[in-house]
Structures are given as structure tokens and as C-alpha cells.
């Protein structure tokens, strides 16, 4: 499984906010909780880092473009909590 021993903590983010259990892209298994986990715990710097390095969605250009707005929205909502 993705996230190994951290999977329960990633899942807990979705338990607190059901919207985070939704997939960022219908054709890809990455959820909003995983995007926030990448930002808060893996050191992701921005949407490119999340899409290209943390989730690998960016490997397919069409998927990257389709997911970009959703990831930006998640990151924008999380930035005040980041510090």
C-alpha cells in the first residue's frame, strides 16, 4: 500500500474531512488526503512537487493538467495551516 506505516495517519485525514477521501482525478487513486500529507509531512513545496514527485500524476501530461486545479485548491486551503 502507499505510505506504508503512515497509511493510517493519511487515512485519518480523510476521516476528519470526507472531502479528502475523494480522488483528485477520477482515473487515478490519489486522494485529497494524500495531497495534504505530501504537503504537511513529505516536504512538498508546491503543486508541481505534489503532481510530479509525490504522487506521480504528472507522468502523464493530460492527467497532470486535469488534476492541477484540484491540487491547487487543496494546497491553497492548507497553506494557512502549514506553518
pLDDT tens, position by position, 42-77: 999 999 999 999 999 999 999 999 999 999 999 888
Q: What percent of the chain stands above pLDDT 70?
A: 93
What is the per-residue pLDDT for 1? 52
57 closest CA partner among 35, 41, 42, 78: 35
Domain locations along the chain: 4-82
Angle (nearest 5°) at CA 29 between 21 and 25: 80
What is the per-residue pLDDT for 82? 46
Give yes or no for a contact between 49 and 58, defined as CB atoms under 8 angstroms apart.
no
Angle (nearest 5°) at CA 55 between 52 and 56: 50
Amino acid at each position: 500500500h502507499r505510505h506504508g506505516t503512515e497509511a493510517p495517519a493519511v487515512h485519518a485525514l480523510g476521516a476528519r474531512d470526507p472531502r479528502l477521501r475523494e480522488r483528485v482525478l477520477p482515473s487515478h487513486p490519489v486522494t485529497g488526503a494524500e495531497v495534504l500529507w505530501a504537503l504537511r509531512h513529505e516536504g512538498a513545496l508546491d503543486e508541481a512537487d505534489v503532481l510530479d514527485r509525490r504522487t506521480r500524476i504528472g507522468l502523464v501530461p493530460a492527467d497532470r493538467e486535469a488534476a492541477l486545479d484540484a491540487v491547487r485548491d487543496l494546497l491553497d486551503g492548507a497553506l494557512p495551516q502549514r506553518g
